[in-house]
Amino acid sequence: MLKLIDTILQRFQCCFKRKETFSWFVVILMGFIVRTDLRGVSSIVGCLHLDSCHYESMIYFFRSTAFNLDDIKHQWLIIVQQYIQPVKIDERSILIGDHIKVGKEARYMPAVKKLHQDSENVGKSEYIYGHQFGMIGILAEGSTTQCVPLNIDLHDGIDEINALKDNATEQTSPKTTKETCIVKMIKMAGSYVNATSEKIIFLLDAYFPSAASFNEAELINQKNSSKLITLIMRAKSNTVAFEKALPKTGKKGVGRPRIYGEKIVFKTIFKNALETFTTINMNIYGKKETVQFRCMDLLWKPIRREVRFVLVKTGDKMMILMCSDLTLDAQKIILAYSYRFKIEVSFKMLKHVVGSFGYHFWTKALPKLSRHKTKTDLSCVKKITDKERILATTRAIEVYTFLSCMAMGILTIVSLTFPTLVWQKFSGWLRTRSSALPSVETVRSVIQQELSWNYRDLNHYATLSKIQDYQRLEVDAS
C-alpha cells in the first residue's frame, strides 16, 4: 500500500519547479491521508510528528508560486484513469457533479458570501455565510461502486476575485464576464472531455435543469464535433413540456407555422395515467426494486428542442428525469441516475473524515465582511499589493481543498486495489462490515498503522522518505 502511494506521488514531481516545494507537497498530502483530527494545517504537524519550526513554511506552501495548480489537476486526472476501472453505460464513463456549501464565519476570508441552504434538513439554517464549491467525480468499478474526486473549485463569489487579476498585473483587458454556477459545473465536465476525448454521462440533481446547462453542453459537443457529453438530471416536480405541433392540413394560414403542440403536465400524468407506465424489476441502490416508468421525447421551451423525459415511480416516490440524448434507453437513464447519490457519500467523507473544509486562510488586505451585506465589496481595494494578497489567499483555499480531494482519491484507489489486504491488516473492530470494500476511514487507519510500523524504513521510498527531513529529532531522556 505504501509502495502504491509512493509510486503515485512520484508522478507529481514534474509539476514543481523546486525540490523543496515538492517535498512539502508530499508531506502535506500524506498528512491529509493519515491525520485523524480536523484542525487544519496544525493537525498535519501533529500526526506526522513534524518539528513546529516548519509550520510557517507549510503555510507558505499553499500560497507558493513554484507550482501551477492546473498542472497538478491534469496529472491527477491521468493517474485516476490509470488506476481505476470506470463504470460505463453505452461505452460512456459516468461523471457526477454537485455543489457543496461550507459555513465560514471569518470576516477577512475571500469569496465568503451569504448563501441559501437548499437542504430540507431541519438541522441546517436557511441562510449561512460561507463558501460554495463545485465538485466532479468519476464512478469507479468495485465490489461496490465508488465516486473518485476529479476536481473541486470555488464557484460562488470567485468572479469578483478573478477580476482583480488584471489590475494586480497592471494589464488592461476586457471586463471579466460573470458565469453562473451551473455553467461553471458544465465547464468542469468539459475540461475532462477536452483532456481525455472520452464520451461521458454527466449526472446532476434538480438544481441544474436550465437552458444554460443544456446549451453549454451542446456548445462543448459542437466544438469537439462529437457528442461527448450526455446530461442526465432530475427535473423539478412542476416541469412541463410540449408535443411537436402537427402540420396544418388544407389551406396554408397566415404567419409562421406553430412549433409547440399540446402542453404536457407531468403531475397530471402521474395522477391520471399510471396505467400507461411500463413495470420492470431493476437493481438500483443496491437492491431489487419494482420500477414503473414512461419515456417521452418532448419539446422543452427553455432550449426550444426535444429532450427525453423519463417519468419514474418507485413505491410512493416519483421523479422526472431529463436526458439530452434522445437515443439512450429509458432503463439505462434510470440506472445511471441511481448512481448520483455516490457524490453525497464523497462529500460526507470529505467533510467528516478527510477534513477538506477545515482551512483558516484569511488576509487583512480584504475589506471586513459586513453582516448586513451578502458579500464583500472589493471596489475599495486599490493597492496592487493588496490585490495580490487576496488572490494568494484564494489560491491557498483552492490548493488546500484540491489536495484533500486527492488524499481521499488515493485512499479510494487503495481500497479498490487492495480490499483483501486492507481487511487483513485492519486492527480495529467493527460490529458489522457494511461492504466487502473497506471504507475511506478504514483504509486511513491501516495506512496510518503501516506508516508507524515502517517508520525506520521510510528511506526505502523515494517520496515518503522526505517526511523524515521535517520531523522533530528524538531527544534522549537520559
d(C-alpha 132, C-alpha 153), whole Å: 9
What pLDDT shows up at residue 122?
A: 60
The tens place of each residue's pLDDT in the chain, 478 residues long, gives 888 998 999 999 999 988 899 999 999 999 999 888 888 888 888 888 888 888 888 899 999 888 999 999 999 999 999 999 999 998 999 999 999 998 888 888 888 888 887 766 666 677 888 899 999 999 998 888 899 999 999 988 888 888 887 655 544 444 556 788 999 999 999 999 999 889 999 999 999 999 999 999 999 999 988 889 999 999 998 899 998 887 766 666 667 778 888 898 999 998 888 888 999 988 887 778 888 999 999 999 999 899 999 999 988 889 999 999 999 999 999 999 999 999 999 999 999 989 889 889 988 988 888 877 778 778 888 888 888 898 999 999 999 999 999 999 999 999 999 988 988 888 888 888 777 888 888 999 998 888 887 777 777 787 888 888 887 765 433 3
Q: What's the pTM value of the predicted model, to 2 decimals? A: 0.89
Chain mean pLDDT for the chain = 86
pLDDT in tens, 141-177: 888 889 999 999 998 888 888 888 765 554 444 455 6
